[in-house]
Structure 1
Amino acid sequence: MTTFVDRVELHVAAGSGGHGCASVHREKFKPLGGPDGGNGGRGGNVVLVVDQSVTTLLEYHHSPHRRATNGRPGEGGNRSGKDGSDLVLRVPDGTVVLDRAGDVLADLVGEGTSYVAAQGGRGGLGNAALASTRRKAPGFALLGEPGWSGDVVLELKTVADVALVGYPSAGKSSLISVLSAARPKIADYPFTTLVPNLGVVTAGETVYTVADVPGLIPGASQGKGLGLEFLRHVERCSVLVHVLDTATLESDRDPLSDLDVIESELSEYGGLDGRPRVVVLNKIDIPDGRDLAEMVRPELEARGFEIHEVSAVSREGLKELSYALASRVAEARSAKPKAAATRVVIRPKAVDDTGFTVRAEGEGLYRVRGEKPERWVRQTDFQNDEAVGYLADRLNRLGVEDALVKAGARPGDGVAIGAEDNAVVFDWEPSLTAGAEMLGRRGEDHRFAEPRPAAQRRREREAERAEEQQG
């Protein structure tokens, strides 16, 4: 059964916003007391938060579909709907968030670091919030926006100071078990280590973490063995330690060729060329191993490597190694630039930025794209003529009608607002008015108008009957 997972594809869906409410205040002797519809609640977000107690992405491997709750709709009496609850997903320290194309969205390092993976939809405004001096009694409300939904990829890159790399059975697990309190599985067969193991080492005043990476073999960067699955875990390490087996039983291997193979695989993987290297010649407790270590040491020193001869069994040379690694880690930490003060970068929009674009597509079809027009379309109840009229007013004030005229649109041409797969298409009529005769100007309801004199109402009825007789 899988117990360690360091890469998953997560399907997240934020909550949708609640719809606004179209309501009229009613009380005795005052049946039409004005609009009192409340706003809809915001949809819940999906938030990733680093938790040090989490060490694997196994939970999301088994349950990859996660959804936040929706906002509640508004109600009469100026009661706003309840916001949806945020869904908080705990992830290990060092989790990288990517999109489907492989672009990095966030790098989550440090306890409590968070990232909103899916943004909840806005709640729709109720008719009380839409009322104004021109529109005293709106008979409609705005719909809530749908929350964002899509796929993100989570990759775990271990946060450690030192990475032990080498062939399978080179003694990396034994080494980390004696340097720290970690207790990885140790056996005398290849690929005993199936997951990265972390250990904490204290050397003087320096405390650092060591990662035991599963063994690499030739072709690991192309997917052979287990190396490719775990090479990402060495990316954050400040120091790379080559653990070379000086007592291998394989006749075609020796420490120098092993080092060349591992260096080649690290180079093929990329991004690790500038990391300091330390070479550990392991298993010198075996006579042949000590002899071979003495033979290859001059060649390794000629290549510029720092050499340590150690034995995980007799613990020879381990104290010197731990202090040498602590010194390397301290140098790497001091070389890192200090975190700069948080700066707020303000990028004002261009003077001629209208916030939308109009593009001709084929004969008699124009497409409008922009954050505001597309959001307004999503918020509109197209079953309500007054709401459609309100949308037309908003588009006109934004300048969409003028832009359509400049683009060559004519009355009756098709206008699509939004992307091709999710657009609202209508026949364009300049200065479109609401269709219902009961509505006066857009966004007005004659039921809230002041009563007219009886003589005026009588004259209007007579005129309507005369018109019907003539027709």
Structure 2
Amino acid sequence: MTTFVDRVTLHLRAGKGGNGCVSVRREKFKPLAGPDGGNGGNGGDVVLVADPQTTTLLSYHHSPHRSAGNGGFGMGDHRSGALGESLELPVPVGTVVKDADGTTLTDMIEPGMRFVVAPGGRGGLGNAALASPKRKAPGFALLGTPGWEGDVVLELKTVADVALVGFPSAGKSSLIAAMSAARPKIADYPFTTLHPNLGVVQAGDIRYTIADVPGLIEGASEGRGLGLEFLRHVERCTALVHVLDCATLEPGRDPLSDLDVILAELGAYPVPEGQTPLLERPQVVALNKIDVPEARELAAFVRADLEARGYRVFDISTVSREGLRELSFALAGIVEEHRKALADAPAPERIVIRPRGAEREFSVRVEGGSYGPVYRVLGEKPVRWVQQTDFQNEEAVGFLADRLNKLGVEDELVRAGAAPGATVVIGEGDGIVFDWQPSMTSAAEVMVAPRGTDPRLDQNPRRTTSQRRERYHELMDAKAAARAELETDRFEEDE
């Protein structure tokens, strides 16, 4: 049964924004008192939280599909829809978040760190929010936009001060059990640790963490054996302890050859940019199992060669606990020195995020099609506006046309060579396809009043009854004159 998982793929879906409401307020003696449709609620986000109490990604291995709540619909009387419930996912400290293509999105290295990995959709505006002096009674509202949906990859990289590296069965698990309160699986037969174990070591006034990670074999940097599953957990460690088995009975193995294999694999592993290569970090050698007489003799034989290479060498036994105190305090000194260097280092440069200036908010790309060129409009705003449009409402379609025209899409289409009737697609993929007509209008413009207005609401209380009567007769006279002119034109055509 799987008990430890350090890499999973999550299938996430953020909440959808609620639709805006189309509503007109009605009062006694005033049946049309103006629009009062509320806005839709925003969809919930999916948020990753670095939690020190979480040590594995096992729960996401069993349940990889996660979704946040949708926003509520707007209602009349200016009532906004409920906000969608956000979903918080605790992950271990040290989790790296990547997209489906492998690009790193963030590194959760600080406890309590939060990252919105899937933002929720926007709630649509109701007709009350869309009202303006020129659009007094909008007969439409905006739809909510969908939330982000896709896959992200979580990779756990152990956060520890010291990493124990070595061949399988070298005694790393026994060493961490002897130095800390950690209780990894230990047996008296050859086997390898299948997942990292963390332990806390107290050496005088210094406390540090030590990691026992899966055993290393030749070819691990190329993925052989546990391969990268092991080396990924060494990236964040301050110091490395080479645990060498001096009591091995396998033919062709000895402490020096084991060390050469380990160094070759550590040197071949590419660490992320900005991090110190593994072989340039502080390293010490622990010659293990000296409680065996033959192992003690071998440790004494290879000590001179190891010290000649520049390593600090410690003879240890996890059974008799010989040499563990000296090793523990030596590692504490390395960790303390590293922490002081970090404290004395200059503070990292602050990243200042400024609003984008007058950058181009869309682009037009000309593509070849079966029946002529296709003009594809790309950009965050045009795509979002299309998502917010109810295409069953002609007034809403006209409002979309006005927004696109104001953004400059029509002018850009003309410059790209688009002619009336050309195929225009907004967004990637299939997108939304239009048969483009310059200055697109909706059926709402057929009315005498401008789009989004209602003559019944345009009653100026300052006008007297006689002024309204005069205005009415003026309109009727103009209408009669237009009808007479139309009849004259028809008579002349008949002649």
TM over 0.5: yes
What CA distance in whole angstroms lies between the structure 2 residues aligned with 1:280 and 1:241? 7
Structure 1 residues 167-221: Cα deviation after superposition (integer angstroms, max 9, x where no partner)? 1111111111111111111112233422111100011121100000111122222
Deviation of residue 227 (structure 1)? 4.0
Residue 385 (1) aligns with residue 361 (2): no
The letter for the 2-side match of 1:307 is V
Say which is worse superposed, 156-165 or 328-337, in terms of deviation.
328-337
Residue 427 (1) aligns with residue 473 (2): no
Structure 1 residues 385-416: Cα deviation after superposition (integer angstroms, max 9, x where no partner)? 11111111111111111111222222111211
**What's the counterpart of residue 40 of structure 2?**
40
What CA distance in whole angstroms lies between the structure 1 residues aligned with 2:487 and 2:192? 94
Say which is worse superposed, 394-403 or 44-53, in terms of deviation.
394-403
Deviation of residue 257 (structure 1)? 0.6
What CA distance in whole angstroms lies between the structure 2 residues aligned with 1:161 and 1:464? 91
Say which is worse superposed, 325-334 or 47-56, in terms of deviation.
325-334
**Pairs within 5 Å for 1:119-198:** 119-198=119-198
Kept after mapping to 2: 8 A contact 1:54/1:92? yes
| Structure 2: stretches of 5+ with no match in the other structure | 272-277, 461-467
The letter for the 2-side match of 1:289 is A
The letter for the 2-side match of 1:178 is A
* 2:402 aligned counterpart, secondary structure: helix
Say which is worse superposed, 269-278 or 246-255, in terms of deviation.
269-278
Q: 1:169 to 1:108 in 2, by over 3 A?
A: same
**What's the counterpart of residue 317 of structure 1?**
323
**Pairs within 5 Å for 1:87-102:** 87-102=87-102
Residue 302 (1) aligns with residue 308 (2): yes
Kept after mapping to 2: 8 A contact 1:139/1:445? no
Give identity over the alignment, percent: 65
**What's the counterpart of residue 285 of structure 1?**
291
The letter for the 2-side match of 1:61 is H
Residue 405 (1) aligns with residue 414 (2): yes
Q: 1:300 to 1:467 in 2, by over 3 A?
A: same
**What's the counterpart of residue 13 of structure 1?**
13
What CA distance in whole angstroms lies between the structure 1 residues aligned with 2:350 and 2:455? 54
Q: 1:341 to 1:360 in 2, by over 3 A?
A: closer
**What's the counterpart of residue 219 of structure 1?**
219
Deviation of residue 438 (structure 1)? 4.0
Say which is worse superposed, 455-464 or 279-288, in terms of deviation.
455-464
Q: 1:412 to 1:366 in 2, by over 3 A?
A: same
The letter for the 1-side match of 2:184 is P
Kept after mapping to 2: 8 A contact 1:412/1:427? yes
**What's the counterpart of residue 274 of structure 2?**
none
Residue 357 (1) aligns with residue 366 (2): no
Structure 1 residues 323-366: Cα deviation after superposition (integer angstroms, max 9, x where no partner)? 100111112222333544744242643x5x33111122233421
* 1:273 aligned counterpart, secondary structure: helix
Residue 395 (1) aligns with residue 399 (2): no
**What's the counterpart of residue 251 of structure 1?**
251
Deviation of residue 458 (structure 1)? 6.4
Kept after mapping to 2: 8 A contact 1:433/1:442? no
* 2:28 aligned counterpart, secondary structure: coil
Deviation of residue 222 (structure 1)? 2.9
Kept after mapping to 2: 8 A contact 1:96/1:156? yes
**What's the counterpart of residue 453 of structure 2?**
444
Kept after mapping to 2: 8 A contact 1:389/1:443? no
The letter for the 2-side match of 1:215 is G
Deviation of residue 377 (structure 1)? 1.0
**What's the counterpart of residue 73 of structure 2?**
73
Q: 1:414 aligns with which of 404, 423, 426?
A: 423
Q: 1:122 to 1:167 in 2, by over 3 A?
A: same
Residue 108 (1) aligns with residue 108 (2): yes
Kept after mapping to 2: 8 A contact 1:282/1:309? yes
Q: 1:94 to 1:301 in 2, by over 3 A?
A: same
Superposition RMSD on alpha carbons, in Å? Answer: 2.3
Kept after mapping to 2: 8 A contact 1:162/1:210? yes
* 1:207 aligned counterpart, secondary structure: strand
Deviation of residue 443 (structure 1)? 2.6
Kept after mapping to 2: 8 A contact 1:95/1:109? yes
The letter for the 2-side match of 1:26 is R
Deviation of residue 225 (structure 1)? 2.6
Kept after mapping to 1: 8 A contact 2:44/2:71? yes
Say which is worse superposed, 460-469 or 99-108, in terms of deviation.
460-469
**What's the counterpart of residue 229 of structure 1?**
229
Q: 1:328 to 1:461 in 2, by over 3 A?
A: same
What CA distance in whole angstroms lies between the structure 2 residues aligned with 1:266 and 1:122? 48
| Structure 1: stretches of 5+ with no match in the other structure | none
Q: 1:461 to 1:58 in 2, by over 3 A?
A: farther
Q: 1:334 aligns with which of 330, 340, 353?
A: 340
What CA distance in whole angstroms lies between the structure 2 residues aligned with 1:160 and 1:306? 21
* 2:406 aligned counterpart, secondary structure: helix
The letter for the 2-side match of 1:242 is H
Runs of 4+ in structure 1 over 6 Å off: 456-459, 461-471
